[in-house]
Copies of this chain bind each other. A is one copy, B any other.
């Protein structure tokens, strides 16, 4: 695993879960499938639970499960839940050197945010059920 491991792991796992909702999977099993560590899995899926995409239960034969129908979870939900923000600029840091530069700076930030938003819109058009079923 290298690039975009979190998004890739999440996508992979949720798609897999979509093929058998109602079924509980342990973080250990998921980790084995994904070739990683149970703690890492819990870290990533924990964010998805905060976004009400997944639910988790302790104890025997429990673990993780989808919290919604597979056709009601979009890639945008996942992307936002993971707080990836590939594009959007940071804005924290350097105070503006001169006013002209500052105008351009904030303008560039606006552009980047627009791009980020259009990316999310694009992601909202695909559900994990779509991913599972290969319907583009």
Instruction: List CB contacts (< 8 Å) of A90-136 with chain B.
Output: 90, 92-94, 97, 101, 104-105, 107-108, 111-112, 114-115, 118-119, 122-123, 126, 131, 134, 136
Complex Cα gap A89–B134 (Å): 17
Interface membership of A56, Cβ < 8 A: no
- Nearest B residue (CB) for A86: B86
Integer count of this chain's copies in the complex: 2
Q: Give the interface residue-count category, chain A.
A: 35 or more
**A residues engaging B (CB < 8 A)?**
1-4, 7-8, 11-12, 15-16, 33, 35, 75, 85-90, 92-94, 97, 101, 104-105, 107-108, 111-112, 114-115, 118-119, 122-123, 126, 131, 134, 136
